Amino acid sequence: MDHAAEGANVSSVDAAEGAIETRGIEPVPDHERHGRVRELFPTWVAANISVLLLTMGAALIVFNSLNFWQVLIVAIAAAVVSFGLVGVLSVSGKWGGAPGAMLSRATFGVRGNLFPGSILWVARFGWETINAVTGAYAVLTVLDLLFGISSNTPLIVVTLFAFVASTFLVSGMGRKALNVCNKWSTYLFGVFSVLVLGYLIVHVDWHDVFSKPAGSTAMLIAGIGTIAAGGISWVPTGPDFARYLPHAASGKKIVGTTVSGAGIVMVPMVLMGAVMAVSTPDLAKAQDPVSFLGDLLPTWLAVPYLITAIVGMLLINSLSMYSAGFTAQTMGVKLPRAAAVSINAMISLVGGLLLMLVATSFLSSFITFLILLAVSFSAWIGVYAVDMFRRRTRAVRYDPEALMDTGRTSRYWYAGGFCWQAMTAWTIALAAGLCFTDCAWFSGPLASTFIGKYGLGWAATIVISALVMALLPTPREGDDAPAPDATSARREPEKVSA
């Protein structure tokens, strides 16, 4: 069978080494695997540079009624659980050299992958919109602190557009540009975070902080799920940033670097938000999740800290849009990766304007979105993890030609393009997860159960999807492919320029 690789028109020059990455969803060949595991550290640091973590830390104090030590437990557990999953599933990127959305074809089938892929793509829109709004609010706060310019509708529109456009530019340039930006933003944000921590240590009333009574175990566990939801949203895109790693790269180092990169930001920022909320509880309820920093910190510290945070949030969205471009191509969008990113950029702009100009409660919308985000991603995680576990002992874990072949000749065609085992497990888990969900928009029929009350719907979803997938018969790849001479039903592999 003569498979035409999608990247056949790419020159022999490494597709990731130029100023703009030219590689799309096609698997990275071995001779271009020049990445190093340590490059993942600034990537996952940058993925968490968001002042939303301050607001979420404050919410643990105000709404979950937790004390300082419970917030510390929540922050550490959330970082380890969520980015532990990111790290483990990122190893598949090293195995297959392709984005997570592409490798998922081997799990669900070339047609079946469209269903979970579409939900993950929609969820990605929401995540990018939330981050774009937060970044725009940060810009507005800096303008107010430096020049006394008050927020108004025209300024909101211009600021949000500028933020989304900048995100689109950076994400469109690709891997090399992202690595450089991530590295320097890590240094800058680290310096100013230490300064903010020092300021809080000196000026906070620590007696009030440590005298706060402990909250319930239910609220502690629910808090872990809320904070972990952001990390869980990165699980399907983890392989995207590991696909340039050589096969010899250590899987343990990938997991360790991922967790440490995320945790070194998540834990102190969540704690900082909790400490701030003890003296200023209103920051957890504000429509604008950023402006409170101008009230709590002196201008000389608040402005540079917010500027570095703006860069960080721009990078979060750039990383997300970078992966969204791959998802769009996998879903059949016949555009180069950089151009495919524009779809997400436009949706982020429209959604951001609605959230900033129409929505009455930013935090309520955000928390609800996080809950639904965790459930939708968790159903995919369990199925993908079991499939990945089964591939670990195979000589060829992912067939690069079969991944690019979307016709009946593909090894991953299964039955009519669907892996019925994976689709069954995913559908059952997704439905069950929604039944356990209780949020501002709806309450599932099982929301009053132990799992629902403790906010463990996302965890139950992962377990259910993994168990169902493991108990069903192991899928047999290639069973439904036609014989080599049955060319009448054959399609050429898709060609999507990078």
The count of structural domains within the chain is: 1
Q: What is the CATH number of the domain that holds 257?
A: 1.10.4160.10
When comparing pLDDT for 483 and 301, which is higher? 301
465 band by pLDDT with thresholds 50, 70 and 90: very high
Residues 291-348: tens digit of each pLDDT: 777 778 888 888 888 888 788 778 777 777 777 777 777 777 666 666 666 777 787 7
Q: What is the mean pLDDT of the chain?
A: 83
Residue pair 159/136 in contact by the 8 Å Cβ criterion: yes
Which burial class, exposed, middle or buried, applies to 340 when counting CB atoms under 10 A from its CB (0-12, 13-18, 19+)?
Answer: buried
Question: What is the value of pTM for the model shown?
Answer: 0.83
Does some domain include residue 370?
no
Q: How many CB atoms lie within 10 A of CB 367?
A: 18
Instruction: Tell me the average pLDDT across 372-396.
Output: 91
Look at residue 396 and tell me if it is in a domain: no
Residues across the chain: 498
Could you tell me if residue 310 is inside a domain? Answer: yes
Tell me, yes or no, whether 345 lies in a domain: yes
Domain of 320? Answer: 31-362
Question: What torsion do the CA atoms of 313, 315, 319, 320 make, to the nearest 10 degrees?
Answer: 30
Q: From residue 333, how far is each of 324, 328, 336, 339, 496 by CA, in Å? A: 11, 5, 9, 10, 8
pLDDT at residue number 449: 93
Has residue 355 been placed in a domain?
yes
226 lies in some domain: yes
Look at residue 132 and tell me if it is in a domain: yes
Q: Is residue 416 in some structural domain? A: no
